[in-house]
Amino acid sequence: MLRGFTTVTFFTDDMEAAKAWYTEVFELEPYFNRDNAYIEWRVGDYQHEFGLLDTRYAPHPPGKGAIIYWAVDDVEAAYERLLRLGAQPYAEPIERGPGFVTASVIDPFGNVLGVMFNQHYLDVCAVSGSTA
């Protein structure tokens, strides 16, 4: 079951410049930085996650757009279901850190669709009283 959007990831060749620019845009320092290869902010009323990933680690060629991840309870099951529905494999399920697992597929129309188990998403739902 898709629960809601969890993370939007943009890509950049210049992490320092992008970090400075988005820090100014959001008027907020990033809360997470993994070796300056992935940087993330929690923005807005629902603390939506916005991440920057160095293009060296991008799962697709630069300039192909963002990946928006849908929150799911079981990444493996969601990934397998999408494949059964006609999507093509893009990035198999992988743990990105404690409480964060991602996978993505190419839908029948050429778009990258991501699914993610995201503990932060669940924590925000618990605080807001939402069952999403």
The pLDDT value given to residue 13: 87
9-13, 54-58, 60-64 — which is least confidently predicted? 60-64
Phi, psi of 93 (to 5 degrees): -55, 135
For 19-49, write each residue's pLDDT tens digit.
Answer: 998 899 888 999 999 999 999 999 887 888 9
- Alpha-carbon distance of 5 to 25, in angstroms, equals 21
The pLDDT value given to residue 101: 96
Q: Does the structure show a pLDDT above 70 at 105?
A: yes
How far CA 37 is from CA of 7, 16, 94, 101, 126, in Å, comes to: 16, 10, 17, 17, 30
CATH topology of domain 4-128: 2,3-Dihydroxybiphenyl 1,2-Dioxygenase; domain 1 (3.10.180)
The pLDDT value given to residue 58: 79
Domain boundaries of the chain, sorted by first residue: 4-128
Q: Does the structure show a pLDDT above 70 at 62?
A: no
Please compute the mean of the pLDDT values over residues 10-21 and round it to a whole number.
89
Residue 115's Cα: distance from chain center in Å? Answer: 8
Give this prediction's pTM. 0.69
Q: Does the structure show a pLDDT above 70 at 118?
A: yes
Task: Give the residue from 79, 91, 85 showing the smallest Cα distance to 53.
Answer: 91
How many C-beta atoms lie closer than 10 Å to residue 39's C-beta? 24
